[in-house]
Amino acid sequence: MKIKTETKIGIVGVLTIGILIWGVNFLKGKNLFEKQNTYHAKYDNINGLLPTSYVFINGMKVGKVNNIQYMDAQMTKFLVSFDIPASIELPRNSVAEVYSSDILGSKAMRIIIGNDYNSYLAENDTMLSQTDVSMFAEIGKMLEPYSKKIENIVSNLDSVVESVNTILNDKSQQEIQSMITNVNEISIHLASLSKNLNDVTAQEKEKIHTIVDNIEKLSETLNDEKLALIIDNIANISDTLANANISSAMQSINSSLESLSGVLNTINKGSGNLGLLVNDDNLYKNLEHSTQALDSLINDIKANPKRYLNISIF
């Protein structure tokens, strides 16, 4: 059986139109090969929701808004229709919420799944609805208690600025300029001082190296064995001092010093022979005269013994 050319062209045209319809619906988010259920939700304000907005469940795109129409002439109520796959069962207390899907404020719809698993929504049922407060509105509510404080702060800032403008008159500006000039001069002097310090450091660098070398030699000389020996000697000395009866020795020294102090006090008072000798000048002079007379007698005896000694044998 031979198929005419016109028939072939017709079949190709129908297939092309079918593929085109399927492609358009696919781009719109509709799957012609999966059954879709249509649901509705009523809103007082749709906050910019569009008929092409997506529908999400737990962050996953499951459908699309297909129609938005106002329910009265004053546009106080809106009916939003949307399609989701029939395989998704929605409990009757599920909520369709309009919310901002990104930071730019794009609107979308999300289904908040309810917990009434004994009763489910049927196709073309109207769901519970709510409109999420935008992020900026939330921020405005959070900042509302602080608005008066912010106004006071701004007012205080205005006062501060006025005070600063009053203070910064021509004379004050000249003084500030003079202060800046002085600071620049000080920085120049500091730079010069730093250069001088660098020069001195360079000149003394060799001496510093010598000192470091001497310290290294000293550390090498005090090796571990010698240092350990020194520490042992110090420990022995400390043990000897600890074992010595220092308290008894100090008491003996204190007793001796007290006795010596008593003797000195007795001498100073003139008591006893030594006290008289120290304090009485006449006794010292008489003793000196007696010594001189005795010395003269001894010398005379040595010079003239016969005068004093008469030896007779018979």
pTM of the model: 0.39
Confidence (pLDDT) at 96: 92
Domain-located, residue 71: yes
| pLDDT band, very low/low/confident/very high, at 111 (cuts 50, 70, 90) | very high
- Please choose, from the candidates 127, 50, 69, the residue with its C-alpha nearest in 3D space to the C-alpha of residue 96: 127
Q: What is the rounded average pLDDT of the residues 157-169?
A: 71
Domain-located, residue 171: no
pLDDT averaged over every residue in the chain: 78
Question: Which range among 40-54, 178-192, 265-279 shows the weakest confidence by mean pLDDT?
Answer: 265-279
Residues pairing with 81 in the sheet:
40, 67
Quote the tokens at residue 19: 């593929």
Distance CA 101, CA 62 (A): 14
Confidence (pLDDT) at 25: 64
Query: What is the number of domains present in the chain?
Result: 1
- Please choose, from the candidates 133, 134, 119, 130, the residue with its C-alpha nearest in 3D space to the C-alpha of residue 41: 130
The DSSP 8-state label assigned to residue 132 in this structure reads P
Domain-located, residue 301: no
Farthest CA pair distance, the chain: 210
Quote the tokens at residue 41: 């939700």
User: In terms of DSSP bridges, do strands 107-112 and 54-57 run parallel, antiparallel, or are they unpaired?
Assistant: parallel
Domain-located, residue 77: yes
Domain containing 61 equals 34-132
Confidence (pLDDT) at 272: 65
The 10s digit of each residue's pLDDT in 227-256 is 777 777 887 777 776 666 666 777 778 788
Distance CA 162, CA 191 (A): 39
Q: What is the rounded average pLDDT of the residues 24-52?
A: 80
Confidence (pLDDT) at 314: 47
Q: Is 53 exposed, middle or buried (0-12, 13-18, 19+ CB in 10 A)?
A: buried
Q: Comparing 83 with 102, which gets the higher pLDDT?
A: 83
Kindly state the percentage of the chain with pLDDT values over 90. Answer: 17
Quote the tokens at residue 77: 């109520």
At residue 47, does pLDDT exceed 80?
Answer: yes
Domain-located, residue 82: yes
Domain-located, residue 55: yes
Domain-located, residue 1: no
Q: What is the DSSP string of 185-210?
A: HHHHHHHHHHHHHHHHHHHTHHHHHH
Provide the 3-class DSSP secondary structure of residue 148. Answer: helix
Confidence (pLDDT) at 175: 74
Q: Comparing 177 with 52, which gets the higher pLDDT?
A: 52
Angle at 182 between CA 180 and CA 184, to 5 degrees: 70
Distance CA 204, CA 301 (A): 84
- Per the CB < 8 A criterion, the answer to whether 114 and 95 are in contact is yes
Domain-located, residue 83: yes
The 10s digit of each residue's pLDDT in 175-192 is 777 888 888 888 888 888
| CATH number, position 117 | 2.40.30
- Tokens 């010596």 belong to which residue? 260
At residue 26, does pLDDT exceed 80?
Answer: no
Q: Comparing 17 with 224, which gets the higher pLDDT?
A: 17
- Tokens 């004093």 belong to which residue? 308
